[in-house]
């Protein structure tokens, strides 16, 4: 039913800082809808991929998932209603702001706003990145992925798998329960983790087409090391090379490159760790950080490696 993560909606008390980071550091295109109130961020030819709205108090993040047409939106509406999720139809104003043809929204078991929409429009003008770069990998893969920490693991798994039709990519049971779910060839569109702590937004992943654009984002982060939430490293499951940049609201952007794609022959795996190398989580308590180091040492001793597969890079070698 769901085809991709189409866009993300952010409610932030730090709008000016978001605009600056989005354009200058990440390289997204900022389009001001209403100064100081509402901003669209573009990552490709679409009208928006992140919608930022100024708020007071607690920041929020919501996800907009794509369905193919009005009929599929009705199927989603019926499935959600049957599962006991009260839905609300998007108003004309909400749809226009997002650039979608139709939308409904509801709250997931943690209270996160989830939208289901179809017909996200192309913008009238070409994508102009905030800094020179070769664009973001989107298309049928959607804008990227989101990872959530949930306080309602079973209900969340039921919602996404049984109601919305996500498929499991892989999972880990230790040091905490996590499931990675896909809806298209992107290895995962959603990660759901149950750490025992309260629900929160962990990160949103954006994927550069070109490795050098990721390297430059890391250079910029190294000038202000406090903004690095997770150091450069490579994930064991989607094979993304990435680092995590703290955003002005305290949750993170994973800026990545060369995520692998998967097909119908995919077999669910039990993960031996989260990363092949790197990805030191600077925010973890010292004992958990040490545990992660030991896992990396074990994988290194096994010689575990993964091929780099990338098909969408735009850079050409210069003679
Ligand atoms: Fe991630």
Q: In whole angstroms, what is the distance from residue 204 CA to residue 207 CA?
A: 10
Ligand 1: distance of its center to the CA of 37 in Å? Answer: 29
Across the range 129-139, mean pLDDT stands at 97
The CATH number assigned to the domain with range 4-122+134-302 reads: 3.10.180.10
**Secondary element (H or E) of residue 153:** helix 153-157
Among candidates 128, 157, 137, 160, which has minimal Cα distance to 242? 137
List pLDDT tens digits, range 11-21: 999 999 999 99
Are 233 and 241 spatial neighbours (Cβ–Cβ below 8 Å)?
yes
φ and ψ of 152, to 5 deg: -135, 65
pLDDT over 60 (residue 319):
no
Q: In whole angstroms, what is the distance from residue 37 CA to residue 53 CA?
A: 6
pLDDT over 90 (residue 173):
no
Ligand 1: distance of its center to the CA of 141 in Å? Answer: 14
Which stretch of 24-28, 192-196, 208-212, 246-250 has the lowest confidence by average pLDDT?
Answer: 192-196
Ligand 1: distance of its center to the CA of 252 in Å? Answer: 10
Across the range 131-152, mean pLDDT stands at 97
Provide the percentage of residues in the chain whose pLDDT is more than 70. Answer: 99
Ligand 1: distance of its center to the CA of 301 in Å? Answer: 24
Ligand 1: distance of its center to the CA of 183 in Å? Answer: 15
Are 253 and 207 spatial neighbours (Cβ–Cβ below 8 Å)?
no
């Amino acid at each position: 039913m769901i085809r991709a993560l189409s866009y993300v909606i952010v409610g932030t008390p730090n709008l000016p800082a978001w605009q600056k980071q989005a354009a200058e550091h990440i390289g997204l295109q900022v389009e001001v809808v209403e100064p100081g109130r509402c901003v669209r961020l573009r990552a490709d030819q679409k009208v928006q991929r992140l919608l930022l709205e100024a708020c007071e108090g607690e920041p929020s993040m919501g996800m907009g998932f794509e369905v193919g047409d009005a009929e599929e939106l009705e199927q989603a509406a019926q499935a959600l209603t049957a599962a006991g999720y009260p839905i609300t139809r998007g108003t004309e104003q909400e749809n226009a702001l997002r650039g979608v043809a139709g939308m409904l929204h509801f709250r997931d078991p943690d209270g996160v706003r989830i939208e289901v929409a179809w017909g996200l429009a192309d913008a009238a003008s070409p994508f102009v990145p905030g800094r020179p770069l070769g664009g973001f990998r989107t298309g049928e893969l959607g804008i990227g992925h989101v990872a959530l920490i949930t306080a309602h693991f079973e209900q969340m798994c039921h919602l996404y798998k049984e109601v919305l039709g996500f498929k499991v990519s892989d999972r880990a049971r230790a040091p905490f329960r996590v499931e990675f779910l896909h809806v298209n060839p992107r290895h995962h569109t959603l990660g759901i983790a149950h750490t025992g702590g309260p629900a929160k937004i962990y990160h949103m992943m954006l994927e550069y087409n070109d490795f050098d654009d990721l390297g430059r984002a890391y250079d910029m982060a190294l000038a202000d090391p406090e903004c690095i939430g997770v150091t450069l490293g490579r994930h064991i499951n989607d094979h993304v090379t990435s680092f995590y940049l703290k955003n002005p609201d305290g949750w993170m952007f994973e800026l990545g490159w060369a995520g692998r794609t998967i097909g119908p022959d995919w077999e669910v795996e039990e993960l031996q760790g989260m990363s092949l190398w790197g990805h030191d989580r600077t925010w973890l308590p010292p004992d958990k950080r040490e545990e992660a180091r030991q896992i990396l040492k074990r994988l290194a001793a096994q010689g575990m490696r993964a091929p780099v597969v990338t098909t969408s890079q735009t850079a050409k070698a210069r003679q």
